[in-house]
Amino acid sequence: MVAEIIEFQFRRYERKFRKPLRTARGKHEVRIGFVARLAGPDGTEAFGEIAPWPEMGSESVAEAEAFLTSVAKSGGIPGFFAIPSTLPACRWGLSSALESLRRKRPLPSKTFPVAALLPAGAEALQRGVELRETGFQVFKWKIGLADARTEQNLFRVLCRAVPDAVFRLDANGGLDNESAREWLSFLEGMPVAFLEQPLAPAHMKELRALAAESSVPVALDESVGTWRDWENLRPAGWSGPVVVKPSVFGSVDEVRRLAREARVVVSSVFETSVGVEAILQLAGEVNVSETLGLGTGEWMEEDGLYLHGSGPLLRGGWVSPGEIWARLA
């Protein structure tokens, strides 16, 4: 059943990272996105977040804003359901809002363990100790920003400093084939859930070979940034973990389909609580078993747009997206 929409609005946000996010693909200092509001004829309203992250294959901020502007000018109805596949962040944000409008109330709340994102380099040592003391058990750490020997020595120290923890190492496609093999050999027997996207997406054949040869799981991330990527990859299959960022992957239904077809690890692109709430609702529905990669709230400056807290557990169903909308006025 299609929900009737009588009003469509959107507001832009611009959030600052507390300190720049450094990955093998570059540095991020500001997070720009949008929150959309849909209203039905009975006064029911729902909200969705459009949070583009182009390096994952999504549209740019400018492309998303142009589309949202066109929807607003058309009254929010004409063309609303024909969102191009080239705009996966718009597809996610608007489809999640539409589903919320149809339901009229949140799904039953669930609590999920989340993984914490550590700073790159030596800063991870102290922060890892602090976060482990608060209850975090799973940590993500970016690699490929310094020479491999330095990072590997740091990782040994990190494993000793943060006991009884599991690590997800993320190269963001920044390694070459030789260094990826060296990393996988180094990680044998260490408390590592997987090595995430060691090679760039263009090297899918080599990624398959690495996964076949190593006892350390290889996860895909940028290789499956959007539903279109998964459709291209699906015929040959992939049995390892797939890190999915729902906010830039595609529509809610497309994320559901991926969750049925792959071993999904849900992750974040630094959303406000509007986007986080939508992800938690979906994770509860599809029964995601992997620890969610949503422990990123502390990375943004305090601006009132993130209300879920920064502990090792996140619970859906209690944050009001309408409160975030009001704060953007």
Structural domain spans, the chain: 7-103, 111-319
Confidence at residue 1, expressed as pLDDT on a 0 to 100 scale:
41
Predicted confidence (pLDDT) per residue in 224-270, tens digit = 999 999 999 988 889 999 999 999 999 999 999 999 999 999 999 99
pLDDT in tens, 173-192: 999 999 999 999 999 999 99
**Number of neighbours of residue 64 by Cβ within 10 angstroms:** 25
pLDDT surpassing 60 at residue 215: yes
Q: Cβ distance 45 to 37 under 8 Å?
A: yes
Residue 244: closest CA among 209, 294, 177, 287: 294
pLDDT of 251 reads 94
Mean confidence (pLDDT) of the chain: 93
Higher pLDDT, 3 or 304: 304
The domain defined by 111-319 folds into TIM Barrel (3.20.20)
Q: At 322, is the pLDDT very low, low, confident or very high (cuts 50, 70, 90)?
A: very high
pLDDT of residue 200: 96
| pLDDT of the residue at 2 | 53
Residues 6+ apart with CB under 8 A from 221: 56, 170, 172, 173, 196, 197, 243, 267
For the ranges 21-25, 32-36, 134-138, the lowest mean pLDDT is seen at 21-25
Render the burial of 195-209: b for 16+ CB within 10 Å, e for the rest.
Answer: bbbbbbbebbebbbb
As a whole number of Å, the CA-based R_g of the chain is: 20
* CATH class of the region 7-103: alpha beta
Could you read off the pLDDT of 117-129 as tens digits, one per residue?
999 999 999 999 9
Residue-level pLDDT at 80: 52
Query: So what's the pLDDT on residue 78?
Result: 43
